[in-house]
Structure 1
Amino acid sequence: MSFPFSAIVGQDEMKLALLIAAVDPRIGGVMVFGDRGTGKSTAVRALAALLPPVPAEQAGYQDGSPRKGTVPVPFVDLPLGATEDRVVGALDLERALGAGIKAFEPGLLARANGGFLYIDEVNLLEDHIVDLLLDVAASGENVVEREGLSVRHPARFVLIGSGNPEEGELRPQLLDRFGLSVEVRTPQDLAQRVEILKRCDRFEREPEAFAETWRRAERKTLKRIAAARAAVAGVTVPDAVLMLASRLCMVVGADGLRGELTLMRSARALAALDGAGEVAAQHITRVAPLALRHRLRRNVLDETGSTARIERALLDLAKKDLAA
């Protein structure tokens, strides 16, 4: 049994990013920077468990044989020491050559199809595994080739990574693949820390009773996600809001156009979560740090962090609009 998503104390930015990614997986997943033991994997597992079951044929990839019914949303943990065969899958060459059967053992990428792939300490992942993830994240398909034999299967998942920047930098190519990034810190509020202890303790001692306490809140969150998924395609983005997004990206110096696209999609998903039919400037303001902070170049003349630079740019743009 997973800890209820609605029962997680604090970490509002991380929870918002996960909800946005659940509404529109095209945003590209979430990178979580911060301290250990702050509920990163707990939140992702909780969200996966909260979401409604999905058709079996859309979740995971087994061996190509049809499956019926529904299954829980996949949640796959990719460990740092995983071999390439365990990640992408393996072909049984002896069976293939001897019996003429294309025997394939699905890997972690296959199991994650239609769900979540979680990588803790992704900044410590081996380079060749990072390259594999980049290819699959770009194509949504995994290709396994051995001695002239090949197997292709869908591998579309929400990529969730976590790591501490102090323990190693994340490759820019992989970092850019994450649509959103959040920063989590150990809570410094005494009352909040005590409440976390109480909830964790009760969940460990009485998991079913604790889950029942939060069942109504969980249903409310699930309805909110379902309504947003149904409405997000119809949410409009006015030209004035698009101009704000582009102006912001230009002011902060975001590389390429991926940041603007992610900013637009995230704002649309947030508007859908809020039940709005149109994206407003406030939606851009709320998601801008999530969509842009990991895309900014380091400015040696500016010692402030990426979040502060984005907030300052938003404030300056608002002042200019008022003065115009």
Structure 2
Amino acid sequence: MRVSFPFSAIVGQDEMKLALLIAAVDARIGGVMVFGDRGTGKSTAVRALAALLPPIPAAEAGYHPAGEAPVRSKATTPVPFVDLPLGATEDRVVGALDLERALGAGVKAFEPGLLARANGGFLYIDEVNLLEDHIVDLLLDVAASGENVVEREGLSVRHPARFVLVGSGNPEEGELRPQLLDRFGLSVEVRTPQVLAERVEILKRCDAFERTPDAFAATWTKAERKTLKRIAHGRAALVSVAVPDAVLGLASRLCIAVGADGLRGELTLMRAGRALAALDGDTAVGPGHIRQVAPMALRHRLRRGVLDETGSTARIERALDDLIPA
């Protein structure tokens, strides 16, 4: 079995790694959109996190029709990681119904698609901004509902499709429509490191992994176990983390201050703040959690002000400084 690059060994890109950990703790966040340069470890980080997570019951992964209880057993399977290619057709993504067989033999002949394969894991889309809008819309609908519905000529098939959706893209190669971008839970920005020491360390780690992957992974076992334990504790504690009214008020005032449309931003702030508190071992969400997750929860939901030359992140941080005293 091929060894994945350890999640803990990724140099820098702290915001991206935190966003992925938050999504791993609470899938209701709605996925992660990663904007940035090529070759900055986007797909490596997602694949590494999927490989880090413990195996899940086989009955909770892959395809099984809705309404039919999956066969229970003690068998487990690695957390799925599915890479969706840009040229994928709708049938390949959602699955295909064989109408000829259905009409001739009277059976629902269904060929599961990539959404079925991703069930229980991660669905990664590189250059999502180059994907056809109707495919992106479909993916976001399924990610939100946790169920895939395929309908053809009066026939329909439903199956669970619960996964963490992660998209990446370079804004210079095409923008994602705001209506679609807004539906991603978190948005992060990654850039090519400009610190010489970081670049050298990345080269050393990549070289060590390419030459002796097993030995390199072994050196990160302790750090990986620590990250895995943090995720497990976060998932277990999530339901008991309190969100005080004062924090909800802060989230709403922040969204008003930066001009975020709708309530999706506030819901994401609440969920991401709770997931971060659970990861940190805290029993309640505080202003510090909101400050930490606010840029990734809101930066992609802001309208560009005609007279405001600052970026979205700067506007959010300015508003946070006004709302949260130092």
* Residue matched to 1:120: 126
Counting only pairs closer than 5 Å after superposition, residues 194-205 of structure 1 correspond to structure 2 as 194-205=200-211
| TM-score of the aligned structures, taking structure 2 as reference length | 0.95
CA distance in 2, matches of 1:187, 1:245: 31
1:104 lines up with 2:110 in the alignment: yes
1:142 lines up with 2:148 in the alignment: yes
Q: Do the aligned partners of 1:271 and 1:279 also contact (CA within 8 Å) in 2?
A: yes
* Residue matched to 1:4: 6
Counting only pairs closer than 5 Å after superposition, residues 242-253 of structure 1 correspond to structure 2 as 242-253=248-259
* Residue matched to 1:312: 318
Equivalent position to 2:289, from 251, 263, 283: 283
Q: Do the aligned partners of 1:62 and 1:106 also contact (CA within 8 Å) in 2?
A: no
**Secondary structure of 1:61 counterpart:** coil
Residue 112 of structure 1 aligns to which amino acid in structure 2?
Answer: A
Aligned-residue offset at 1:43: 0.1
Q: Do the aligned partners of 2:63 and 2:159 also contact (CA within 8 Å) in 1?
A: yes
Deviations 1:153-174, CA, capped at 9 Å, x for gaps = 1112111000011111102222
Counting only pairs closer than 5 Å after superposition, residues 36-185 of structure 1 correspond to structure 2 as 36-61=38-63, 66=71, 68=73, 69-185=75-191
**Secondary structure of 2:142 counterpart:** helix
CA distance in 2, matches of 1:235, 1:318: 21
Aligned-residue offset at 1:318: 2.7
Aligned-residue offset at 1:208: 0.4
CA distance in 2, matches of 1:105, 1:275: 43
| Unaligned runs of at least 5 residues, structure 1 | none
Structure 2 CA distance for partners of 1:287 and 1:142, relative to 1, 3 Å? same
Q: Do the aligned partners of 1:31 and 1:178 also contact (CA within 8 Å) in 2?
A: yes
Q: Do the aligned partners of 2:28 and 2:144 also contact (CA within 8 Å) in 1?
A: no
Aligned-residue offset at 1:90: 0.7
1:231 lines up with 2:233 in the alignment: no
Q: Do the aligned partners of 1:54 and 1:71 also contact (CA within 8 Å) in 2?
A: yes
CA distance in 1, matches of 2:27, 2:136: 20
Q: Do the aligned partners of 2:30 and 2:144 also contact (CA within 8 Å) in 1?
A: no
Structure 2 CA distance for partners of 1:173 and 1:67, relative to 1, 3 Å? farther
**Secondary structure of 1:9 counterpart:** coil
Residue 265 of structure 2 aligns to which amino acid in structure 1?
Answer: G
CA distance in 2, matches of 1:214, 1:283: 28
| Unaligned runs of at least 5 residues, structure 2 | none
Aligned-residue offset at 1:117: 0.7
**Secondary structure of 2:324 counterpart:** helix
CA distance in 2, matches of 1:239, 1:146: 47
Aligned-residue offset at 1:59: 1.1
Percentage identity across paired residues of the two chains = 85
**Secondary structure of 1:90 counterpart:** strand
* Residue matched to 2:18: 16
Counting only pairs closer than 5 Å after superposition, residues 288-303 of structure 1 correspond to structure 2 as 288-303=294-309
* Residue matched to 1:33: 35
Aligned-residue offset at 1:61: 1.1
Q: Do the aligned partners of 2:295 and 2:316 also contact (CA within 8 Å) in 1?
A: yes
Aligned-residue offset at 1:137: 2.8
Residue 71 of structure 2 aligns to which amino acid in structure 1?
Answer: P
Comparing 240-249 with 63-72, greater Cα deviation is found at: 63-72
CA distance in 2, matches of 1:29, 1:135: 12
Aligned-residue offset at 1:62: 5.3
Q: Do the aligned partners of 1:62 and 1:111 also contact (CA within 8 Å) in 2?
A: no
Comparing 43-52 with 151-160, greater Cα deviation is found at: 151-160
Structure 2 CA distance for partners of 1:138 and 1:111, relative to 1, 3 Å? same
Deviations 1:175-211, CA, capped at 9 Å, x for gaps = 1121000000000000100000000011011000001
Q: CA RMSD in A?
A: 1.4
Residue 39 of structure 1 aligns to which amino acid in structure 2?
Answer: G
| TM-score of the aligned structures, taking structure 1 as reference length | 0.96
**Secondary structure of 1:224 counterpart:** helix
Counting only pairs closer than 5 Å after superposition, residues 202-221 of structure 1 correspond to structure 2 as 202-221=208-227
Equivalent position to 1:255, from 255, 261, 270: 261
Aligned-residue offset at 1:136: 1.7
Structure 2 CA distance for partners of 1:92 and 1:67, relative to 1, 3 Å? farther
